[in-house]
Amino acid sequence: MYIVTGGAGFIGSCIVKTLNDMGIEDIIIVDNINNTDKWLNIRNKKYIEYVHKSEFFTKLKNYEKLDVIIHMGAQSSTTERDFDYLWKNNVEYTKALWNYCAQHGVRFIYASSASTYGSGEDGFDDRSDIDKLMPLNGYGYSKQIFDIWVKHQAKEFPKQYVGLKFFNVYGPNEYCKGNMASMVFHGFRQIESEGEIRLFRSQREGIPDGCQMRDFVYVKDICSVIMWLLAHEEVNGLFNVGTGQAQSFKELAEATFYALGKEANIRYIDMPSHLVDKYQYYTQAEMEKLRSVGYTKPFMDVKKGVTDYVQNYLDKGFRIY
């Protein structure tokens, strides 16, 4: 049996779809759908039960033959200001799941974040000392705290334990993220309504407008990594998951226009003041650690990933993956 927390969310629902494509349907989805439209993300999925996150620990002890918990559930907004809420959801909840898995011989795969790297002045190497990282926001810090807890304070370890530092993920099912959805999603909607994509002007000398760089990783590649980990129980540790290649927001926007067969029309706007001091101008995952344990599949670049996303999902009415 598989449990996917955050299973109605962006990455979680794509993981459920990928499991289904492999013929796996004995899945428990844990989430907090409430009055959102995230139920659309599980409408076309095969699973045993949906459990609200507040009832999960009460029911957890009743599940037999549980193999793995894939923990994607968290407060994922990088602009969340309630740190107590972040601590409860991203640190304490994850600790409780880790301890359960350790005590019951269950494998545990969880979402960390590339936001733990902060400004990236010391690079984006998952082999570096995580204690020295300086995240730029409470979300990134909450993810770092759990990674550090695993390193220094975890007394017992699950049968398999893997933390995944996702870089900038984009793809189908992300509409539920609202303002936190990718520039591809928002850019597509801007093209539909206004015929243009708006990008932030650069606030840093030497970096032209639109040339802020990110490691943009397609959600289907995320799912491929997780399926590979499920097949390789011997792999443990904390790993980056990106493409290993930084590309600019301008390239991302141009790829969106290209996928629609349109000429690029980009307009630059001022960055909101609350983001100026917390904005990452460059991220690029160092991928040698994941490669060294045997993952060899290539990652899609922006042009290939955006084309699949736009043509097969966004341009077909936000069809769910």
Q: Is 139 annotated as catalytic? A: yes
DSSP letters spanning 34-65: TTSSGGGGTTT---SEEEEGGGHHHHHTT--S
- Taken as a whole, the chain contains a residue count of 321
Burial zone of 186 (CB within 10 Å; 0-12 exposed, 13-18 middle, 19+ buried): middle
- The two tokens of residue 258 are 């290209």
Contacts of 79 (CB under 8 A, 6+ apart): 137, 139, 179, 180, 274
Residue 153 CB coordination number (10 Å) = 8
CA quadruple 187, 189, 193, 195: dihedral sign = positive
| Residue 109, φ and ψ in degrees, nearest 5 | -120, 125
Pairing of strands 247-248, 213-214: antiparallel
The question of whether 309 is a catalytic residue gets the answer no
Give one DSSP letter per residue of 86-127, joined into a string: HIIIIIIHHHHHHHHHHHHT-EEEEE--GGGGTT-TT---TT
Residues facing 24 on adjacent strands: none
Catalytic annotation, pick one of 177, 278, 289, 303: 177
- Tell me the residue type at 175: Y
Catalytic residue among 110, 139, 141, 170: 139
The phi and psi torsions of 234 (rounded to 5 degrees) equal -75, -10
* Residues known to be catalytic: 139, 177
